């Protein structure tokens, strides 16, 4: 089965080469990395295009400049694989990630969420298990209240991707939406309790900011209304 990696980039020049290399080492010759760049006037473009000239599995496309959710949607729409992995621009995939996740999907899973070791900017581990922090689970109602799905730790079948696209306007985050759609449609989801990436947390992360209570309430109302249209 063909693997596609949807990587959303935004001013990612500091770490993206290291991330791409950690991914490519695990892919087959017919797999692909789709890099959607939401700041194509920056240095990320040059780095990715240079890598693309050396490896045909890398495909660079420009994002819409409308934020991380739209950027991931843009990357996903360009994916042609049977198994889709989501990727941030600044992490490192640990050896065996693709093999272990693909084995679960080949065995019948539609969506896989694996653990991550949280690190600082220099990849020094600050918490060996993000699952232990967030309490990751596969409950639809529980994840509607508190999202425990993290995109950089997710992979899913093409059917799950098609179920979730196009994204409704005003989504809080892409990973939350994809997970809830899969769980609502009773797709088979699996938790892998092994850390398969080094999840780099630093001052320049695009995701992970704080939100107000009123914003959290509005997001959940939006999700409930959008999910009600899913059949």
Q: Tell me the pLDDT of the chain (231 aa) as tens digits.
A: 999 999 999 999 999 999 999 999 999 999 999 999 999 999 999 999 999 999 999 999 999 999 999 999 999 999 999 999 999 999 999 999 999 999 999 999 999 999 999 999 999 999 999 999 999 999 999 999 999 999 999 999 999 999 999 999 999 999 999 999 999 999 999 999 999 999 999 865 555 557 788 888 888 999 999 999 988
Contacts of range 124-127, beta carbons closer than 8 Å, 24 or more positions apart: 125/198, 126/201
- Overall residue count recorded for the chain in this entry: 231
pTM assigned to the model:
0.94
Q: Residue 202: what pLDDT?
A: 81
Q: Residue 205: what pLDDT?
A: 58
Helix (H, G, I), strand (E, B) or coil at 58: strand
Q: Residue 103: what pLDDT?
A: 98
- The alpha carbon of 112 is separated from its chain's Cα centroid by a whole number of angstroms, namely 11
Question: In degrees to the nearest 10, what's the CA dihedral of 216, 161, 155, 101?
Answer: 150
């Amino acid at each position: 089965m063909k693997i596609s990696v949807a990587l959303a980039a935004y001013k990612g020049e500091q770490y993206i080469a290291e991330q791409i290399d950690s991914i490519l080492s695990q892919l087959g010759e017919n797999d692909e990395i789709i890099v959607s760049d939401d700041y194509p006037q920056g240095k990320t473009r040059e780095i990715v295009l240079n890598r693309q000239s050396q490896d045909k599995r890398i495909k660079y496309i420009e994002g819409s400049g409308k934020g991380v959710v739209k950027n991931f949607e843009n990357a996903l729409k360009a994916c042609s694989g049977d198994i889709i992995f989501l990727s941030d621009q600044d992490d490192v995939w640990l050896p065996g990630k693709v093999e272990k996740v693909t084995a679960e999907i080949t065995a019948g899973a539609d969506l896989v969420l694996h653990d991550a070791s949280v690190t600082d900017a220099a990849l020094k581990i600050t918490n060996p298990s993000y699952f232990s922090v967030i309490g990751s689970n596969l409950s639809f109602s529980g994840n509607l209240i508190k999202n425990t799905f993290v995109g950089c730790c997710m992979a899913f079948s093409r059917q799950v991707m098609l179920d979730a696209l196009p994204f409704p306007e005003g989504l809080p985050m892409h990973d939350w939406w994809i997970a809830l759609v899969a769980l609502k449609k009773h797709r088979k989801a699996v938790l892998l309790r092994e850390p398969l990436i080094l999840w780099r947390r630093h001052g320049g992360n695009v995701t992970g900011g704080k939100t107000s209570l009123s914003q959290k309430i509005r997001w959940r109302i939006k999700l409930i209304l959008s999910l009600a249209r899913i059949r």
